Structure 1
């Protein structure tokens, strides 16, 4: 499945935790998605998936969530985009 990333961001909070997000779209899905990442130390990540703009098809949303759970390559691509955005801000 083709993933198109349209925006990414990551920041480090004063307590050392990380919060980031990546906005992306998938082939044949009308809605864009936003995945938000959180980590206390930058090693183990939790995420939350939502629609980036207007709500879309619930079935496609559930398919996207399953894709993130089962496909490490797609998940890591989205996480790496957010991490890369933070690294670009630090330079």
Structure 2
């Protein structure tokens, strides 16, 4: 994760979901580190659209899961 005056915090996390064809990458952005927006992408190759939509829905509904991904990105800021 990086931080600058214009964009605030920007980080990315690569992750896999058991049973899904392709790994994912989430790009996280926050001006002040409190409210986060994100983009969810396939990490290396195109995958199944239904699978990425299911992950996106889960991220919208599961605050704990989303929080774990934010924390994973923040770890690199601390290093």
Measured against the shorter chain, the TM-score band is over 0.9
TM-superposed CA distance for 1:29, in Å, is 0.6
> Is 1:49 the counterpart of 2:40 in the alignment?
yes
> How do 1:12-91 residues align onto structure 2 when only pairs under 5 Å count?
12-15=3-6, 17-88=8-79
Give distance in 1, aligned partners of 2:7 and 2:52: 31
| Structure with greater proportional strand content | 1
Please list the CA deviations of residues 4-47 of structure 1 after superposition, one character each: whole Å capped at 9, or x if unmatched. Answer: xxxxxx00024361110100001101200011001111111111
> Aligned pair count?
79
Stretches (4+) displaced over 6 A: none
Gaps of 5+ in 2: none
Gaps of 5+ in 1: 1-9
Q: TM-score, normalised by structure 2?
A: 0.93
- Give RMSD over aligned pairs: 1.1
Q: TM-score, normalised by structure 1?
A: 0.82
Give distance in 2, aligned partners of 1:52 and 1:43: 25
